[in-house]
Amino acid sequence: MERLVDQAGRSIGPPAPAPTTASPAITKWLANSSDLAQLQTAHPMSDAVIDQIDGRRIRIGQHWLTDFASCNYLGFDLEPEIIQAVPEYLARWGTHPSWSRLLGSPRLYEEIEAELTTLLGAEDTLLLPTITHIHMSVIPVLAAGGAIFLDARAHKTIYDGCVSATTQGATIQRFRHDDPDHLQELMRACDRFPRLICLDGVNSMTGNIPPLGELARIAGEHDALLYVDDAHGFGVIGERGPGELCDYGMRGNSVVRHANQSYQNLLLVGGFSKAYSSLLAFIACPTSLKNVLKVAAPPYLYSGPSPVASLATVLAGFKVNAERGDVIRADLNRKTTRVLDCLEQLNVATPNRAGLPIIEVPLANPDDLDAVGRYLFDRGIYVTLAAYPLVPRSQVGFRIQPTAANTDAEITYLLQVLRELAERSKLQARQR
């Protein structure tokens, strides 16, 4: 493969693959998964080693880029008040609890659950290290050999949790993305119970918000439970009201409050690893279910805990969120709007309708992904590439995720590079 080099001839891409010493069985297996291997080695923006950060600038080898690929939407990873809060927690609790939660939960968990429950306006919350842990363990418990209805564009980790539930007898039917009528049709034709409807809150690919009210109504009519993963909405969108500074709403208390729905028939899953820049996740549920999950969902007993630094950054993040969160969100909204307005002026397509900071930009020709990825890399713009077969060929492109920590100058430069790509007809045009 051709190597990327800087002006001095130094390599700036990922290192060349080492010669393999794999056994014939592994070599054969690798040949069968060559599409994915190609993805990993073909792009300097895939599997990259970041050598240094400076604000939202990152250094890969000798090459500095501006990062639009992280999910640190509120910039809490760089927030001095949050960083400064950590040492005191480490001094009190050490670096790592290293009990599974059932064996011993530092009081910090109780404090976070209490504050989170109040923020969400839910009955109770249960914390586990990651959303993946929650999907893999809780979905099989809830599906209990019944029927799962899965949004066609739900996140891969939800899908994996549902597949795991099939080993205990559950069936999976997929309904068209954001299509309540199709869901209704499938539910009418189904005679299995219990019933679970699984979907993303803010969708991780499109950045859009599902029609939660309609889905909740259908769930109620068909005696089903809604299971919503709002990894990307928690911290970014929240309740609407007269005091709001922008359309994201207030307090960042997630999609259920944003859509003015109740937790009656709905379980909300979310995480701190995006807007709160911390390794921790939650499920909001009734206390009775929480107590069952403590023993029925394996990670509470069998998995290690989140590091103390993450528990500390969540608690410090709550404080910043309460004091300045809405101002930070308004700034994020303004920066995101600049990018979306530019795409509109350039007549470039994006599925983003909600104005949230996940901006998918499909290419005019999916075969250009390699070249466009390299162009962005050379021009110092770091984004997430969406390659086939991870997305359908018509949606091959890249995803821009602005954060509040990106400077206005960085956004201005991003717009210039997008304009260059549009002038070269590399980006998909809007349908009229």
Q: Which stretch binds ligand PLP (CB under 6 A): 94-102, 227-235, 306-314, 395-403?
A: 227-235
Q: How far is the CB of 223 from ligand PLP (least distance, A)?
A: 26
Residue 200 binds ligand PLP, judged by CB under 6 A:
yes
Instruction: Tell which one of 132, 208, 333, 395 touches ligand PLP (CB under 6 A).
Output: 132
Instruction: Tell which one of 45, 82, 131, 340 touches ligand PLP (CB under 6 A).
Output: 131
Residue 229 binds ligand PLP, judged by CB under 6 A:
yes
Q: CB-wise, 178 or 229, nearer to ligand PLP?
A: 229
Do the beta carbons of residue 63 and residue 12 sit within 8 Å? yes
Residue 231 binds ligand PLP, judged by CB under 6 A:
yes
Q: How far is the CB of 205 from ligand PLP (least distance, A)?
A: 9
Q: How far is the CB of 151 from ligand PLP (least distance, A)?
A: 11
Residue 305 binds ligand PLP, judged by CB under 6 A:
no
Q: CB-wise, 249 or 299, nearer to ligand PLP?
A: 299
Contacts of 257 (CB under 8 A, 6+ apart): 120, 121, 238, 239, 249, 251
Instruction: Tell which one of 63, 101, 155, 329 touches ligand PLP (CB under 6 A).
Output: 155
Residue 384 binds ligand PLP, judged by CB under 6 A:
no
Q: CB-wise, 147 or 283, nearer to ligand PLP?
A: 283
Instruction: Tell which one of 212, 281, 285, 309 touches ligand PLP (CB under 6 A).
Output: 281
Q: CB-wise, 124 or 200, nearer to ligand PLP?
A: 200
Q: CB-wise, 132 or 254, nearer to ligand PLP?
A: 132
Instruction: Tell which one of 206, 261, 273, 336 touches ligand PLP (CB under 6 A).
Output: 273
Q: CB-wise, 281 or 293, nearer to ligand PLP?
A: 281
Q: Which stretch binds ligand PLP (CB under 6 A): 3-11, 56-64, 145-153, 226-234?
A: 226-234
CB atoms inside a 10 Å sphere around CB 93: 17
Instruction: Tell which one of 75, 271, 307, 397 touches ligand PLP (CB under 6 A).
Output: 271
Q: How far is the CB of 98 from ligand PLP (least distance, A)?
A: 20
Q: How far is the CB of 404 from ligand PLP (least distance, A)?
A: 19
Rounded to whole angstroms, the Cα distance separating 394 from 386 reads 11
Instruction: Tell which one of 66, 72, 125, 204 touches ligand PLP (CB under 6 A).
Output: 204
Q: How far is the CB of 345 from ligand PLP (least distance, A)?
A: 29
- Interacting residues toward ligand PLP by CB under 6 A: 130-132, 155, 157, 200, 204, 229, 231-232, 271, 273, 281
